[in-house]
Structure 1
């Protein structure tokens, strides 16, 4: 009786990966502090100047500086900087997760009365349905307007935009992001198919801004304007955003943001708050603006990314000369990055808080990899369009060594490789000496470059044995996220 060599090989690999318990006993599942930098040093944050050379006023990064943090359009995988591994490593599977691109401000983050309007007449947001077979729909899109007969005026920005929506410039950035990914994984590496077929999937959240981005990414990658499905989970249980209930995670994050170490920075920033409140008209009792710098950060950065002026104080409905200065804005940005480092990395509770609230997505990721290795799935590329809270939790679980607020278009890429016998004798210069029993390795890219974790079991995530990565994730969330629900409801200790 003949045997199928590929089936035998897959069975052996699957058995090897199933025996991850030995690796799990040696993988470090503990929290490890991030690097000490100016970003998480409160004295330098409050008393400093500038924003570490970060970019907040353009999607374009100057030539030769690509890789620098650009809030408006974060660096991602592209052919110019992409480092191909040595020839014995053959790319097998890729999963991308990235934050949507730049957008208008959220309505809740607008000032009570904004000193100028914001129009989006240079794009259309298409919202329509049609049967898969049968009659067709007009390509209907929303056109915002204000009725002169409607006496009820909304607070915040006035204009034809939705708040939020991906702007025309953000849509262009989304298209280029797709084109750059295709330039690497199709043109440079020869991995992606020519067309978006059954080997490729795209997933979005319930927030429509992720769908606005996904459509442009798909066209940037595959040049198609044809109908294309976007995978989406139900509201309230979506693992990508995430929205499922996890009381343990919520309690941990609340505790992180209520202790003395947290309130110290708000107290230190009280003079800044007073100046911002006076100019913006935000009430000092508005908890949304004063529990953190999230609202002020979003409001000011959204303007600057779209070349809009920083706001001035309105006196009798007219702009005065008392304005939010660039120094004020820079301090807001420094404080925002300090907060994200503190919430997601500096506090030891951050690992458990993030692993529980993002554990289902991580379990889905590890299942995708296992299914591919076992020959159960023919999907070779998955792409997820998500949010800053999604990326922050993932980076927290990966224990990124220098945590920042993930900017627009921030991207984490998981690459699965199989190592074959070397025919060149040239080793990969940055590869880890650890070997994989299965022959599979993981490389993780952040901002287009290899991610460095503070966790010693992960370290520089350049060809880490697959067994190590699976054992780390499984130890935190269980195989296929099997521990998450129990950890979220308190039945299993975190």
Structure 2
């Protein structure tokens, strides 16, 4: 493990380099902040570290002018910013894209975590209809297409310390759905029109494509928007594959007691103790402001406060105020500190701790194994699939980025995405490029711009458990 003094030295070197080169903070790479020490959290001058934490309530997120960390709608492959792998672009090799494995977090949503003291703003979801119906596979009467309409009964006594409005928590918002539609359109422009990989048309059981989600309505609803953007003229249903929720290899579906014991070990380190100490004052302030003093989940990590603040800002709402006292509100500077603390937390969980290999194995190892088997099938020419799209969660994207060895891991934002491109050369070799939110990922193995497919499989294989039952206990 790195010492505290090494971390401080790195931070000093970083800021001195900015000073002597005349580089402003706005010009730094927003995807790769200095996350190796808690001064990243406590230095208020860092603000959002070049990131974006805002989006309109009922519209798609505006397209960015450049690829920057945007928590509300992470960048993705786009025809205006996409470039071919360098060896292909400079014609040093002749190669064709033959397979795309695409993973993304769901699009933006309402919060999971409602403030214990109650919310001072209503959430309105009347502009999106979560459909809830089942239909026979063949024959039989078609269903009435019912949808969920959330309402609040003013006589419900539990609303006093909850939140009024017409949303479930969490649920996809109209802005999230529209972001998903645009996400699909952009993928079609790059991997369909430009590169000719994604089929222009398809049918219900097309063997060239494979779609998967977790069992969450968030990922299912996101899939509906993205896939409509990909195939705007398609009529009829499409299968969205899911594993049974109790044994799912994504979203922590399968049981594994070692997850908790490993996390306990991770959060018992001197580095974690320092993290808790440097954020104690702000945590105490927010706990008093929102009556979270007796809610352990709100105090043990920054997950809950960050989730609540992010969901507000990403859907056109204001930061929260104390219920009944609009003079006591969260400031933008406090929110940015919470978000930086969340970045540090994710980097420590999935990159910086001594137990990271085992933690990735018990959380995401089985899904990583599935991905590696797909790559082997492509390499051995045993696969009919050319395009596989997985709709998952930040808790799936983060450990996979950790397994790839990302140089610095910020909290993967809404629709954060990983594109595994597999290219076949004219000589018959297979090479891979890995894009994270639209750009080649920078890792401890170098930038994954053009590497032999076997090397990518080797990188991932470290995180595939030999015996998951023995590991999970």
- TM-score when scaled to structure 1? 0.82
Q: Give the Cα–Cα distance (whole angstroms) in 1 for the partners of residues 419 and 413 of structure 2.
A: 16
In the TM superposition, 1:175-254 aligns within 5 A as: 175-196=181-202, 197-223=206-232, 224-254=234-264
Cα deviations across residues 213-251 of structure 1 (Å, max 9, x unaligned)? 001111000112421111000112111223222333432
Q: In structure 1, the residue corresponding to 2:286 is in which secondary structure?
A: helix
Task: Select 2:52's aligned residue among 55, 64, 69.
Answer: 55
Counterpart residue number, 2:84: 84
Q: Give the Cα–Cα distance (whole angstroms) in 2 for the partners of residues 264 and 143 of structure 1.
A: 45
Q: Structure 1: where are the runs of 5+ without partners?
A: 1-32, 422-437
Cα deviations across residues 433-487 of structure 1 (Å, max 9, x unaligned)? xxxxx611111110101112113xxx2212211122223333441xxx6x14155
Q: Is the 8 A contact 2:375 2:457 kept in 1?
A: no
Q: In structure 1, the residue corresponding to 2:443 is in which secondary structure?
A: coil
Distance 1:62 1:415, change over 3 A: closer
The answer to whether 1:41 aligns with 2:37 is: yes
Q: Structure 2: where are the runs of 5+ without partners?
A: 1-5, 12-32
Counterpart residue number, 1:452: 442
Distance 1:44 1:93, change over 3 A: closer
1:208, distance to aligned residue in structure 2 (A): 1.2
Of structures 1 and 2, the larger Rg is shown by: 1
Q: Give the Cα–Cα distance (whole angstroms) in 2 for the partners of residues 174 and 245 of structure 1.
A: 31
Q: In structure 1, the residue corresponding to 2:246 is in which secondary structure?
A: coil
Q: Is the 8 A contact 1:359 1:484 kept in 2?
A: no
Counterpart residue number, 1:441: 431
Q: In structure 2, the residue corresponding to 1:84 is in which secondary structure?
A: coil
Q: Give the Cα–Cα distance (whole angstroms) in 1 for the partners of residues 294 and 156 of structure 2.
A: 30
The answer to whether 1:410 aligns with 2:416 is: yes
Q: Aligned residues, how many?
A: 429
Cα deviations across residues 59-107 of structure 1 (Å, max 9, x unaligned)? 646753x21100000011111111113161211111001000100011x
1:258, distance to aligned residue in structure 2 (A): 2.5
Task: Select 1:279's aligned residue among 286, 289, 300.
Answer: 289
Counterpart residue number, 2:122: 117
Cα deviations across residues 8-47 of structure 1 (Å, max 9, x unaligned)? xxxxxxxxxxxxxxxxxxxxxxxxx999743342123113
The answer to whether 1:128 aligns with 2:117 is: no
Q: Is the 8 A contact 2:116 2:161 kept in 1?
A: yes
Q: In structure 2, the residue corresponding to 1:202 is in which secondary structure?
A: strand
Q: In structure 1, the residue corresponding to 2:180 is in which secondary structure?
A: helix
The answer to whether 1:467 aligns with 2:454 is: yes
Q: Give the Cα–Cα distance (whole angstroms) in 2 for the partners of residues 487 and 414 of structure 1.
A: 30
Q: In structure 1, the residue corresponding to 2:458 is in which secondary structure?
A: helix
The answer to whether 1:307 aligns with 2:316 is: yes
Q: Give the Cα–Cα distance (whole angstroms) in 2 for the partners of residues 398 and 249 of structure 1.
A: 20
* Range with greater deviation from structure 2 (116-125 or 368-377): 368-377
Q: Give the Cα–Cα distance (whole angstroms) in 2 for the partners of residues 60 and 354 of structure 1.
A: 32
Q: Give the Cα–Cα distance (whole angstroms) in 2 for the partners of residues 154 and 414 of structure 1.
A: 48
* Range with greater deviation from structure 2 (244-253 or 77-86): 244-253
Q: Give the Cα–Cα distance (whole angstroms) in 1 for the partners of residues 39 and 117 of structure 2.
A: 32
Q: In structure 2, the residue corresponding to 1:141 is in which secondary structure?
A: coil
Counterpart residue number, 1:163: 169
Q: Give the Cα–Cα distance (whole angstroms) in 2 for the partners of residues 155 and 238 of structure 1.
A: 34
Counterpart residue number, 2:278: 268
Q: Give the Cα–Cα distance (whole angstroms) in 1 for the partners of residues 397 and 265 of structure 2.
A: 21
Counterpart residue number, 1:488: 471
